A and B are shown apart, each in its own frame.
Chain A
Amino acid sequence: MPEYTNSRQEIEMNYSLSRKEALGLLAVRADTEDGDATFVIPKFNYLAYRDNEKNSQANVYISLGAGGAEFKDDTDLVGLASVQADYETRRIYTLAHIETIQSSGGSDLNHFRYRAGFAPYVEGYEAIHTWLIGQVDYSPEMSDDWTVTPLVRVFYSNLLLEAGVSLKGDPFFALITHF
């Protein structure tokens, strides 16, 4: 999803091939401790596990990709691997995501994210939905500290918007749509 913070911006597009498989393109610019790095990575996403229950859904996704990075005026080859697990009811939501980008140069980028959220009200299919979410991010190449971001998620129809401000004061925005 398109995502913005002061130190990291990313945009991602995915095309579903089937219920379990999608092809994606991820572009990331990250302000690492060693300098700016820009990654462009085509990737393959695979739904490894899904559990549909009456009142919940749980998923595990795996992504693998290979692409390039621009870092310190060099172009590096990079590989990406990520795992994401989520669990959701109409009231609660939790997600864990771990991603590693390994480079032939010095532009490795690792990212861990955990989220937990709840819906203050439950509405029908056609309504505006709101979630309050706490997000924790850790990316050792960007900062030694964990970043905690309270955020609001609002979605209506096929448009989903997230906005928040980290406890350090950094803004966070994300936007998802699907066709």
Chain B
Amino acid sequence: MKIKNIVFASLLLTTPSIALAEEVMVGINGLVCAFCAQGIKRAFGQKEAVESVEVDMDNKMVSLKLREPFTLSDEEIRKVITDTGFDVTAINRSK
């Protein structure tokens, strides 16, 4: 029983916590040139709240995985997209 408890406690300590990070899908107009879209990845990559950025040229989407416990407002997202030269068509969030 003692060994079982030790194993269980070890598992609790070593298993990463499963926090549900927020994901944001951003629809974008003008996303036709991968070379020109480099700025999107770079600009979001500089945000502390952003864990990862994926650019989907086929579906004209940028998906952001946010880092717990941070968030990014719609206004911040729109500002990054417009500053890098594109237009936002939709912002959808999920956990």
Contact = CB atoms under 8 A, between A and B. Distances in A.
A158 B35 contact: yes
Contacts, number: 57
A124 interface: yes
Interface string A43-66: 000000011111111000000000
Contacts of A123: 34
The secondary structure that dominates the A interface is: loop
A17 B38 CA distance: 17
A22 to B, nearest CB: 12
B57 A90 contact: yes
B30 interface: yes
**Interface band, chain B:** 20 to 34
A155 B37 CA distance: 12
The secondary structure that dominates the B interface is: loop
B46 to A, nearest CB: 12
Interface stretch (B1-9, B16-24, B64-72, B82-90): B82-90
Contacts of B38: 157-158, 178
Contacts of A88: 32-33
B83 A53 contact: no
A68 B51 CA distance: 48
Given A57-B32, A155-B34, A160-B35, A124 B83 contact: no
B63 to A, nearest CB: 11
